[in-house]
């Protein structure tokens, strides 16, 4: 004969947590915590599985392989852009990271990453990004450098 006493089932020769309960209503706080932790672990594993299916971004071109124009563009980037953007990661600083910017289907704004669109954004700003007063002779080297990211 089984008798329910505060979440425990007493049976002939056995006393223990009621493992037959379908809902967590009668589980002790420690068992409820274990159940919640199990669900959290399952959610984390699912997130890892989804992310593992994502393709990694292509690596940036090593600085040792830059053309003179790309090296000039890297210096322009350091002078005008590095305060707000990381060049070799997608992690944001003040603005978004720019790794693989020209290799993606769209920029963080949603626009395609064409040289024309990037030039428009640099010279006229977009959203929170202010216009950058970039000398004309530095624009093409900067674009060449952005293509190396």
Residue 125 Ramachandran class (φ > 0 left, ψ -120 to 50 alpha, else beta)? left
Domain assignment present for residue 15? The answer is: no
Residue 93 lies in a domain: yes
When divided into structural domains, the chain yields a total of 1
Residue 117 lies in a domain: yes
Residue 107 lies in a domain: yes
In terms of residue numbers, what domain contains 140?
63-146
Instruction: Note the pTM of the prediction, 2 decimals.
Output: 0.61
Is 121 within a domain? yes
Mean pLDDT of the chain: 76
Which tens digit of pLDDT belongs to each residue from 73-94?
999 999 999 999 999 888 889 9
Classify residue 78: in a domain, yes or no. Answer: yes
Take residue 37 and report the two structure tokens written for it: 């932790």
User: If you average pLDDT over each of 28-32, 42-46, 106-110, which comes out highest?
Assistant: 106-110
Residue 134: give its domain's CATH number: 2.60.40.420
Query: Is residue 12 assigned to a domain?
Result: no
Which string of b and e fits 41-61 if b means at least 16 CB within 10 Å?
eeeeeeeeeeeeeeeebeeee
Q: Do 121 and 107 meet the contact criterion of CB atoms below 8 Å apart? A: yes
Count CB-CB contacts under 10 A for residue 87: 18
Residue 47 lies inside a defined structural domain of this protein? no
């Amino acid at each position: 004969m089984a008798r329910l006493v505060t979440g425990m089932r007493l049976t002939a020769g056995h006393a223990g947590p009621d493992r037959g309960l379908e809902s967590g209503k009668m589980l002790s706080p420690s068992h409820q915590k274990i159940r919640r932790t199990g669900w959290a672990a399952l959610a984390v594993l699912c997130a890892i599985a989804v992310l593992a299916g994502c393709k990694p971004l292509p690596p940036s071109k090593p600085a040792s392989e830059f053309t003179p124009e790309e090296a000039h563009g890297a210096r322009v980037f350091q002078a005008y852009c590095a305060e707000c953007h990381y060049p070799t990661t997608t992690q944001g600083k003040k603005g978004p990271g720019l790794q693989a910017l020209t290799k993606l289907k769209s920029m963080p704004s949603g626009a395609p990453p064409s040289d024309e669109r990037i030039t428009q954004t640099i010279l006229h700003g977009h959203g929170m990004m202010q216009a950058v007063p970039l000398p004309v002779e530095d624009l093409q080297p900067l674009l060449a450098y952005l293509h190396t990211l």
